[in-house]
């Protein structure tokens, strides 16, 4: 890639093609991951400051659009219902006009940047756009009614009152929004938390550019670099260097980080690719800073953080509105499953209780989203005195630890049904990579020692069922090949997620469960 050494002709697509190789799971070799690095006290203390979740700007702005549309429509509906009280046919026409005017107002505000965070922070800056969009949206509908010669059919007074009331509402509402956003910004509740990857002069230049943009929502949490103090000072542009690249992975799992920005020269191609092989397993956006003045990018090959151009290397999977849609999907179908399967729950619970002494529900610590540990529920399938909460010893065919009832429950996967309650609690999703026990291993090695990209499975919530399971990869994992294939299918699911994909997996799950060959 000689063009990497010539920034003026830099081709980001060529770099992306090489990056795509990072996602490929090698099936021919075992490449152990680096040993875990303990965070230093400073990094651990700073990570603790960022443990709470923030309000996503994308989500806040989306909700604001919906709220303003609904509020304007409801105000108009109430005024016309009280003043005009039209008949049903006329009522439908009124609703269409009210909805159209409200929707146009939101559209015009969007086109005029009325939903940008810097504009929302200041009522004075938002006021011209706000009044202009509302007047234009109202005016377009008025003109439409004039040309359709339907103006006489509507109450001019009610529409006039709606316009004045809507104006008052928007002014008060935007004042409250401006106050709230400034307050959230001061409290760190509405910001994008960023870690700078790489030090030295490139990192210093990047930080200076970001700091010059007073209206951006970036919060720099620290810097990580492998180089010693001679090449990369411990304090860069006023921010501490918190550790090495290996320590960054632990830091990003402890703190709620939104984005990693790599501040390395674009000519350092090999170093960037080696770095991405370590970082892509994290559920964060990864960007490559590209703010050098002599770069010429192709259209749409980069995005911006504030005014700083960035190459989009990896995006956090299932984020913002996608996560909302997936959560609604999980809750709705979980409730449907409980309504339909409650006799199975009761029958399985009675069978477990009557067949052997011990609790009905077996609880096990497993890896969840972002490698966090969660307690997963199952119907107990082993004798209590032989149970293995750590799952260090996998269940094998004819395993004496499994009860007769437990053997049936495991083959039919009924033992997994209590995990629906994990879904309702938000710890699991209905569809996703299956959560493995914390100490699970094949032979004498942990899964992460067998597959280099294993922890990339944890960039999304684990699931009750998954793409790997309906493709036959369920049951005992007794060799390296099985965990490699499972991980490959899980990563394919993450990269290609959609609600339709989830629905397909959910529908196919009962059919594929009829194959009990590998379920013991």
Q: What pLDDT is recorded for position 273?
A: 83
**437 contact partners, CB below 8 Å, separation of at least 6:** 364, 365, 366, 367, 389, 390, 391
pLDDT band at residue 87 using 50, 70 and 90 as cut-offs: low
pLDDT one-digit tens code per residue, 454-483: 888 889 999 999 898 888 777 666 677 778
Rounded Cα gap, residues 126 and 188, in angstroms: 23
Rounded Cα gap, residues 417 and 349, in angstroms: 11
pLDDT one-digit tens code per residue, 173-201: 999 999 998 888 777 778 888 999 988 88
- Half-sphere exposure at residue 305, Cβ-oriented, CA atoms within 13 angstroms: 30
Architecture of domain 2-49+191-314: 3-Layer(aba) Sandwich (3.40)
Helix (H) or strand (E) holding 260: strand 259-262
Q: What pLDDT is recorded for position 497?
A: 92
Output DSSP code: residue 393. Answer: S
Q: Where are the domains of the chain?
A: 2-49+191-314, 57-186, 321-512
3-state secondary structure of 312: strand
Q: What pLDDT is recorded for position 35?
A: 41
**Which of 174, 170, 63 has the alpha carbon at shortest distance from 120?**
174
Q: What is the DSSP string of 202-249?
A: HHHHHHHHHHT-TT--EEEEEEE-SS-TTTS-SEETTEEEEE-HHHHH
pLDDT one-digit tens code per residue, 322-338: 999 999 999 999 999 99
> How large a percentage of the chain has pLDDT more than 70?
81
Average the pLDDT over 141-166 and give the result. Answer: 75
Average the pLDDT over 29-58 and give the result. Answer: 71
Rounded Cα gap, residues 304 and 42, in angstroms: 30
Q: What pLDDT is recorded for position 301?
A: 57
Helix (H) or strand (E) holding 367: strand 361-367
Alpha-carbon dihedral of residues 312, 458, 272, 20, nearest 10 degrees? -70
Rounded Cα gap, residues 373 and 361, in angstroms: 18
Burial of 66 (C-beta count, 10 Å sphere; 0-12/13-18/19+): exposed
Res. 441: pLDDT tops 70: no
Burial of 283 (C-beta count, 10 Å sphere; 0-12/13-18/19+): buried
């Amino acid at each position: 890639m000689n063009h990497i050494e010539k920034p003026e002709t830099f081709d980001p697509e060529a770099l992306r093609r090489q990056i795509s190789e990072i996602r490929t799971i090698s099936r021919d070799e075992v490449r152990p991951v680096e040993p875990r690095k303990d965070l230093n006290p400073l990094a651990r203390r700073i990570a603790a400051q960022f443990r709470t979740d923030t309000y996503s700007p994308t989500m806040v702005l989306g909700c604001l659009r919906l709220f303003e549309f609904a509020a304007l429509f409801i105000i108009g509906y109430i005024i016309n219902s009280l003043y005009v009280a039209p008949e049903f046919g006329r009522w439908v026409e009124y609703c269409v006009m009210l909805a159209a005017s409200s929707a146009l107002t939101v559209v015009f505000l969007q086109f005029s940047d009325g939903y940008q965070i810097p504009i929302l922070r200041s009522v004075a800056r938002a006021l011209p756009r706000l009044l202009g969009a509302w007047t234009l949206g109202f005016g377009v509908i008025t003109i439409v009614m004039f040309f359709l010669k339907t103006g006489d059919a509507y109450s001019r007074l009610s529409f006039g009152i709606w316009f004045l009331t809507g104006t008052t509402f928007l002014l008060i509402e935007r004042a409250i929004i401006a106050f709230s956003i400034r307050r959230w910004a001061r409290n760190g509740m509405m910001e994008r938390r960023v870690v700078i990857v790489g030090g030295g002069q490139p990192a210093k230049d990047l930080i200076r550019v970001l700091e010059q943009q007073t209206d951006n929502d970036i919060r720099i949490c620290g810097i990580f670099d492998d180089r010693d103090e001679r090449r990369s000072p411990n304090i860069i542009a006023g921010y501490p260097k918190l550790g090495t690249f290996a320590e960054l992975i632990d830091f990003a799992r402890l703190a709620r980080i939104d984005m990693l920005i790599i501040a390395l020269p674009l000519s350092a191609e090999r170093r960037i690719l080696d770095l991405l092989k370590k970082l892509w397993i994290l559920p964060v956006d990864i960007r490559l800073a590209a703010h050098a003045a002599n770069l010429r990018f192709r259209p749409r090959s980069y995005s911006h953080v504030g005014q700083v151009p960035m190459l989009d290397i990896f995006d956090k999977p299932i984020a913002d509105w996608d996560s909302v849609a997936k959560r609604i999907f999980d809750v709705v179908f979980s409730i449907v499953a409980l309504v339909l399967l409650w006799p199975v729950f009761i029958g399985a619970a009675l069978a477990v209780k009557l067949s052997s002494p011990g609790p009905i529900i077996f609880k096990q610590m497993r890896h969840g989203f972002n490698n966090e540990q969660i307690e997963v529920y199952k119907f107990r399938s082993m004798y209590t005195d032989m149970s293995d909460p750590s799952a260090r010893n996998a269940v094998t065919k004819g395993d004496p630890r499994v009860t007769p009832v437990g053997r049936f429950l495991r083959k039919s996967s009924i033992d997994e049904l209590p995990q629906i309650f994990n879904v309702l609690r938000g710890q699991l999703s209905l569809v996703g990579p299956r959560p493995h026990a914390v100490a699970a291993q094949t032979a004498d090695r942990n899964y992460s020692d067998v597959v280099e990209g294993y922890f990339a499975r944890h960039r999304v919530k684990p699931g009750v069922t998954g793409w790997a399971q309906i493709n036959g990869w369920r049951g005992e994992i007794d060799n390296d090949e099985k965990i490699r294939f499972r991980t490959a299918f899980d990563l394919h699911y993450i990269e290609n997620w959609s609600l339709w994909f989830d629905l397909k997996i959910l529908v196919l799950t009962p059919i594929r469960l009829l194959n009990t060959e590998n379920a013991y």
